[in-house]
Amino acid sequence: MTRFAANLTTLFQELPFLERFGAARQAGFTAVEYMFPYPYAPEELRDQLRQHGLTQVLFNLPAGDWAAGERGIAVLPDRQEEFRDGVARALTYVEALRGAQPPLVNCLVGKLPEGAHADEARRVLVENLRYAAAELKKVGVTLLIEPINPHDIPGFFLRTPDQAAGLIAEVGADNLRIQYDLYHQQRTEGQLLDTFRRLQDKIGHVQLADVPGRHQPGTGEINYPFLLAALDRDGYDGYVGLEYIPEGDTVSSLAWMDTLREGVTA
């Protein structure tokens, strides 16, 4: 049965961030994810989770200067010390936010700088992922890597799940998995279900949004009732993160879930 996690970065933007936890619980969610916890003290976020009976599913490693356009630093040879400091910082949040299970931690690998050599970037990326996976494994945490479509983030180094699977094989860490975002996959290659089935043993988390617009299911071309039912039948038992930008207000945007009410829980 599909378990949904509200992504508090994209949902409930009508409210200040710390108020989104309560809004998610009121809307029926028992799990949340978001991109970055770092603007807030770990205790602030932990208190929101406990107050509203929520499970923290996922957050990202620090990803450089987001406002300046950086989308991760794991491929940057001159930023390895900063990357390792980011892993240590993420671990303090893991300990504060873990419930019965620790949250997943996603690594946005970053954009290849102009003039950079792809082979050198991959070498640095593999080294960084080995380090991060080893540190996270000490506390029972799974590290994710996420392919991003080239339309939303031109120059992003990791574009497809097959590229991610190749990295996983090269890194050789048993706690490294793919964050499979159905929106990015549709924009890059399509073949959503076939790709999921081929790589299911390497997928650690699923996210969704419709195409085009990155809005809620039902606003675009993806047949989400069919797709989510297929993931259930294929044995996917992780959370599905709702990382979409609501068309309209957030609560109204959740009406699509009514079509999945049989056999689906929020």
Catalytic position from the list 82, 243, 247, 262: 243
- For residue 242, the cross-strand partners are 6, 208
Concatenate the DSSP letters of all residues of 195-215 into one string: HHHHHGGGEEEEEE--TTTT-
Catalytic position from the list 127, 135, 146, 170: 146
- Which of 94, 14, 92 has the alpha carbon at shortest distance from 57? 94
For residues 183 and 97, what is the distance between their CA atoms, to the nearest angstrom?
27
- Which of 73, 82, 84 has the alpha carbon at shortest distance from 157? 73
Residue spans of beta strands (DSSP E) within the chain? 3-7, 31-33, 55-60, 104-107, 143-145, 176-181, 203-208, 239-242
Is 146 catalytic? The answer is: yes
For residues 159 and 145, what is the distance between their CA atoms, to the nearest angstrom?
11
Name the residues annotated as catalytic: 146, 243
